[in-house]
Chain A
């Protein structure tokens, strides 16, 4: 078990074979109230018009909240590094997926003409037609 059982959290001073590390209550409460505060902040900032920055702000706040949940409630801070690698690699692959798809869609957006006008007038079920502008 030499390499599979390395006690990555041995700095917490547990006896051998002891691998649980209960979180102190004050820490749980502190994280909860921080999360609550950030929720109020994000609702509050939604009242103001920040233009295109608005989505950036709300995503930053959401990411801080998500980070708090992952780090403390999910105790990733004390966890084996492999679990952190797993979760962060998943975010990288999500970014890859979204990035490529969005990059592509943004490019061919210009070739899309959404003109459901005629169909609406005819049968009131809107249709969009894909017309390649280049053709």
Chain B
């Protein structure tokens, strides 16, 4: 209910082709979007914003890869100067982490879907929801400032003491992170309250779609961990402004403390990134296999378990930082516990596909790619969690490849899968499925070509964040660069497929994939208030009554 709305009073509800009343045409004008309190519009604005941030981060990523085509042993002959290279990888990391991955699934897809899947009209605090979007925009502005002034060159982790001495816009970047942190907190807070207090009759905890369980677990982390990031970057900004010395060894401060503070947030933040992705995969696996999810409760509990275990393992980022011996051993041991709930999920997804009617359309191809890539990413994490191997692999390309397999191969691919899956619902338009599959295939090939060589580089000793390397590594680096270009092309194709659908796409049926969750019981796109009456809540993974309707090209739920 925005302040400036021009409600279209007589929704023409006809059958094929005619206009129909939904959230996109509910009101028009710039202010009807800028001041909207509708979670769907806020979700769409987030979507546009994070895709912009993703594009920005992607450009920096390509710059890194192109620079590394040559060994750059002579810095004067290199494409980027060493200082520029530092800035480019810092901005790539910071933008991708804080502006793209963390808000990607929860704030864009989650905002759009959570109330609809839950069967409510909106999130609990619509104003706070809009506020957190504008906080995100403010954070973006701070980052844009660092981009156009003296860019930060500290790495996205802002490690002290370098970040205290660095002559770049660290203050602006840290304040940006502080603001983005609060944006993330408010989104999480909103989701927790919505799920707790606004479930309609019949929507018990174990009737909730698994995507909502994943978002709930994510929100717990957002609420509990993000404030610590807030105080950390605030203290860092104060450190630079007033020299308070808490993290500054030259004033008797302790820089290792900064790393503790930072990773107390940033390790759980890894689960902020991956948990919603896992939730998407749970939906995709079940819907596109046309078979009930295998092990619903185990997947639900494992989401919560990952969220809680995620708080116990931050020290594994600091094994070589001068941590105490006992602490390193404790953290190493605890790190392995997180692999258990992750493995439970992977096995349950595979169990879901078994004997299902697997439809190999675009979202499912992305989901299958996710399982492959996430498994590699997860298993290589065990190498890094083991104390002895981490001593060798720390700060090498092995780490880089590992977290790209998890964050990009995991979160981004799942995000794309989810975007294709819910695109007909969000926009009301069907995309070109064969071209979508092509995009998924290119992304998959490009991704592996980019990052598999980096595992090899890492084990051979190529340190991360270096602008130059010994010539022996050149062939692997070039493979990686070629892969990055293919990956970029694949993402471009995916974007074009979605853009094309907006203009030339067929009208989407209510339920194009045959899902049984509540969002498929709304028209595509959904009406302004989602549900005028509390919807009938059933088992979200019961496909017995879902039948194909040749007339609309979609599915419908047969009445019992």
User: Which residue numbers of A lie inside 8 Å of B, CB to CB?
Assistant: 1-4, 82, 89-90, 93, 96-97, 100-101, 103-108, 111-112, 114, 116, 126-130, 132
Contact = CB atoms under 8 A, between A and B. Distances in A.
Interface in B404-418: none
Given A3-B204, A126-B252, A128-B252, A101 B260 contact: yes
B311 A116 contact: no
B249 A130 contact: yes
B199 A104 contact: no
B456 interface: no
B196 A108 contact: no
Contacts of A2: 201
Contact of A108 (B199, B312, B324, B331): B324
A128 B251 contact: yes
A132 B322 contact: yes
Those 6 A-B pairs whose CB atoms lie nearest each other, nearest first: A107-B324, A104-B327, A128-B252, A101-B260, A127-B250, A108-B324
11 contacts: A1-B201, A3-B204, A82-B196, A93-B224, A101-B264, A104-B315, A104-B327, A105-B256, A112-B254, A114-B252, A116-B252
Nearest to B250: A127
B326 interface: yes
A107 B224 contact: no
Interface string B221-264: 00010001000000000000000000001111010110011001
A33 to B, nearest CB: 33
* Size bracket, chain B contacts: 20 to 34
A97 B325 contact: no
A97 B264 CA distance: 7
B197 interface: yes
B249 A128 contact: yes
A30 to B, nearest CB: 32
A119 to B, nearest CB: 8
B382 interface: no
A104 B204 contact: no
Contacts of B315: 100, 104
Interface string B184-219: 000000000000111101001000000000000000
B333 interface: no
Contact of B196 (A4, A97, A101, A126): A4
A43 B271 CA distance: 45
B228 A107 contact: no
B323 interface: yes
Interface in B308-344: 311-312, 314-315, 322-327, 331
Nearest to B260: A101
A90 B311 CA distance: 12
A82 B257 CA distance: 33
A93 B307 CA distance: 12
A42 B323 CA distance: 37
A103 B327 CA distance: 7
Question: Which secondary structure dominates where chain B touches chain A?
Answer: helix
B186 to A, nearest CB: 16
Contacts of A126: 251-252
Given A90-B224, A126-B251, A128-B252, 18 more contacts: A3-B204, A4-B199, A93-B311, A97-B264, A100-B314, A101-B261, A104-B256, A104-B260, A104-B327, A105-B324, A107-B324, A107-B325, A108-B256, A108-B324, A112-B254, A114-B252, A127-B249, A129-B249
Contacts of A97: 228, 264
Contacts of A103: 324, 326-327
B327 A107 contact: yes
Contacts of B252: 114, 116, 126, 128
B27 to A, nearest CB: 30
A108 B315 CA distance: 14
Nearest to B254: A105
B311 A4 contact: no
A125 to B, nearest CB: 8
Contacts of A108: 256, 322-324
A107 B254 CA distance: 13
Nearest to A90: B224
B203 to A, nearest CB: 9
Nearest to A1: B201
Nearest to B268: A93
Nearest to A110: B324
Interface in B256-300: 256-257, 260-261, 264
Contacts of A132: 322
Contacts of A106: 324
Q: Looking at B250, B312, B325, which has the most chain A CB atoms within 10 Å of its CB?
A: B250
B118 to A, nearest CB: 11
B327 A100 contact: yes
A126 B323 CA distance: 25
A131 to B, nearest CB: 11
A3 B331 CA distance: 39
Contacts of B224: 89-90, 93
Given A4-B196, A129-B249, A130-B249, A105 B257 contact: yes
A93 B254 CA distance: 22
Contacts of B322: 108, 111, 130, 132
A126 B245 CA distance: 11
Contacts of A82: 196
A100 B260 contact: yes
A32 to B, nearest CB: 30
Contacts of B228: 97
A107 B326 contact: yes
A66 B399 CA distance: 44
Nearest to B331: A100
A123 to B, nearest CB: 11
Contacts of A93: 224, 311
Nearest to A130: B249
Nearest to A109: B324
A117 B287 CA distance: 69
